[in-house]
Every structure is written in C-alpha cells, then in structure tokens.
Amino acid sequence: MSVYEDWVGRSQTATDVLDPARSNALDVALGGAGALTAGDALPLLDHWLHFWDVKPPAALGTDGHPAKGGFLPPVPLPRRMWAGGRLTFLQPLHLGETVTRTSTITAVTEKVGKSGTLVFVTVRHELDAGGGIAVSEEQDLVYRDPAPGVLPLPVAVPVPDAAWAETVAPDPVLLFRYSALTMNGHRIHYDRPYAMGEEGYPALVVHGPLQAALLIRLAGKALGRPVTGFDFRGQQPAFDGIPLHVCGNVTDQGGEFWTQQGEAKNMIATVRTT
C-alpha cells in the first residue's frame, strides 16, 4: 500500500465568479482585443484563471507553491509540475456566472524510472454553474527528484510542417502575466536565478497550462467546430527566449496539436469536436 493511500478520495470545493476582466487580460496578453463582457461564453480553459488558492507567506514552500500537505499529499520530492490532463466540455460556462468546483484526488502512483523517483497525483475537477456539470477535468501532477544537472537549452528550429502553425515569443513579461492571472507562484516561471540554480533549468520555464491555452485557442480557430474534449501531455519543458511554435493537423475526430521549440515536441494534445 502506498504511504499516500489515505489521500485518495479526499475532496474539497471552491466557488468563484467568472470575471470577464481576467479573460480579457489574458486575451490582450496573447495579442487579442479583450472585448469580452458578462454573459459571453467563457473561453475554453479560462477557468484556470479562477479559483485562486492564495496562501500567506508562512504557508508557502521555497519554490513559491503552497507548502506541501493539506489537500494534496506531502510528497517530499523537490520538483513538482503539472504534467498533463484530460477535459470534457459538456456545456458552456458564461462570464459573470458563479461556479462551484469540486476537486477529488483519484489516484497517487509512485514509479522509479531513468530520471529517478516519480510520484503522480491525479485530481478530478468538476465545474458546475447550477445546471449540472459543465466541465469535467482530470489533472496529472508529478513530483520528482532534483535534476542531475542543468538541462540543455533547445536550439530554435523553423516552423514545423503542419496544416496550421503560429509562433509565439514566450518572453518574461508573458510568463509573469500568466503567473499573475493564475496566481501561480512557482518561481521557475519568473525567478531566473532560482530556476537555473535550484531546479536545474537553463532559462525560465513556459507554463504547461499556458501552452495548453495556446493549443486550444489555435484549435478553436482552425477547426471551426465546437471543441468537446481536450487531452494534453507535457513531453519536455519549453523556455523563454526561444520561439515557440504552436501547430496542428486535422484528424477524423478533430485534430492533433503540439508546441515545439527544438527538434522534439514540448506538449502534445488531442482535440475532439465530435
């Protein structure tokens, strides 16, 4: 039995109002017009801009995240990140609505691989604005050993061959803005000395959720049909200062999308429109 078995099944709820200002701020940060108003449909994945879990300084870990323990298990491994997730969009949410999010830990799995010890925590979130579940989501969080050394910085590559492609410049301002809008205090996204000296990265790290947001925005424009499902998984970190290509190809069910900086893909996603 896992030492974290007691955390499986733990649940908590949070309530928030879907603020148009947050979606508009992200839209403008990504080059949009920011013209959303109350009553408009919430852009997909913009629920991540809500349900802030703000902790006082004494309740933060050295990495800027809330200290371990509480709802999530107190995994002692020093590096933690959001590895991927799966979402089903059952009905639209609207800006201005009051939404309740119910979160439940569904699994805690320990593995030992080439990179050391890994602990995966899966959390299910269900969002309801009063008319039944609107968004069902599973998040995979991973805790891991320290990096054995500084990771290499990828070499910029031309735009990959894809049906759709956009290129984003993930500079420190964009990373700071996304951290602020999601109340994400993880220092790898804005504190370069910490990211490089403590966690072994060669630069600031582009948020996984930010990459997912870029992918689903491209999918919405490219496919021309409502997105009903979105599964994504991080393959390797992306860093500031290097062009980030956001790409996609059509499939029978929707599309396959990915981000890419070097020769390998950073994040891959399956988009369903059926």
Q: Model confidence over 138-169: pLDDT tens digits? A: 999 999 888 777 788 999 999 999 999 999 99
Domains held by the chain: number: 1
CATH number of the domain that residue 155 is part of: 3.10.129.10
Q: Is the pLDDT of residue 1 over 50?
A: no
Q: Model confidence over 22-59: pLDDT tens digits? A: 999 999 999 999 999 999 999 999 999 999 999 999 99
How far, in Å, CA of 183 to CA of 201, rounded? 22
Please give the residue range of the domain that contains residue 206.
5-272
Quick one: angle between helices 208-223 and 172-181, nearest 10?
A: 90
Entry pTM: 0.95
Q: Model confidence over 195-232: pLDDT tens digits? A: 999 999 999 999 999 999 999 999 999 999 999 999 99
